[in-house]
A and B are shown apart, each in its own frame.
Chain A
Amino acid sequence: AQSVTQPDIHITVSEGASLELRCNYSYGATPYLFWYVQSPGQGLQLLLKYFSGDTLVQGIKGFEAEFKRSQSSFNLRKPSVHWSDAAEYFCAVGARSGSARQLTFGSGTQLTVLP
């Protein structure tokens, strides 16, 4: 069965600092990988996704993620964090078999940004 681990429950960074949120997955084949962000009172917004090809994926709001098959990782990065990036971030893996393509999520990482 597929699974996703986000080892950091809570991360605090200063505004302008760089950010890396970790994600490790377990899946029997090459996975579909996603990062979603959830602001308070909002739904889950897609930041970026990886299906195949270039392992460095660019997303919205200046985020990027790198798929590393050897490490089973899909870490999210941003070179300079803004106060508006404070939110909860979820990594997810999508099923490749079956047509539903349902997502399996990690536990999430809560990001706090200090002024």
Chain B
Amino acid sequence: EPEVTQTPSHQVTQMGQEVILRCVPISNHLYFYWYRQILGQKVEFLVSFYNNEISEKSEIFDDQFSVERPDGSNFTLKIRSTKLEDSAMYFCASRVASTSTDTQYFGPGTRLTVL
């Protein structure tokens, strides 16, 4: 069964450094998402991406964040200058987008630790 994959599984970085989290969505999916979960808190929506542009973003997704689909398979989340409060589990998700009711499939997550 096709899966969303994410790399790395765990990333440790110093405050102020740039990080890029990578995701490979399911191949025929057209809508891509990033969510995050700070330890002990809810899973929160960050951004959705469709047709090579951002379709929705939350107030969390400020200028420090960017997303890109650099090729036909990868979908990346870049944090330009990491802060301690960016430490969280980041989930990528994708959906087919053939109907309005199709399902989002999630990857296993990348745990980001900012020191």
Contact of A32 among B33, B45, B97, B101 (CB under 8 A): B101
Binding site of B, secondary structure by majority: helix, strand, loop or mixed?
strand
Contacts known (A90-B43, A98-B56, A106-B42); A44 close to B106, Cβ less than 8 A: yes
Measured between alpha carbons, how far is A51 from B48 in the docked complex, in Å? 21
Residues B100 and A46 in contact, CB atoms below 8 Å apart:
no
Residues B105 and A99 in contact, CB atoms below 8 Å apart:
no
Chain B residues with a Cβ closer than 8 Å to the other chain, count: 27
Residues of B within 8 A of A92 (CB): 43
The A96-115 residues at the B interface (CB cut-off 8 A) are 96, 98-108
Q: Which B residues are within 8 Å of any A CB, using their own CB? A: 4, 31, 33, 35, 41-45, 48, 50, 55-56, 58, 91, 93, 95, 97, 100-101, 103-109
Q: Which A residues are within 8 Å of any B CB, using their own CB? A: 32, 34, 36, 41-46, 49, 51, 90, 92, 96, 98-108
A/B interface sample: 18 pairs, CB < 8 A: A36-B106, A43-B4, A43-B91, A43-B107, A44-B43, A44-B106, A46-B104, A49-B101, A49-B103, A51-B101, A90-B43, A92-B43, A98-B56, A99-B50, A100-B33, A100-B50, A101-B100, A102-B45
Q: A100-B55, A105-B43, A106-B42 are in contact. List 15 more A-B contacts (CB 8 A).
A: A34-B103, A43-B91, A43-B107, A43-B108, A45-B106, A46-B105, A99-B55, A100-B33, A100-B48, A101-B104, A102-B45, A102-B48, A102-B56, A105-B35, A108-B42
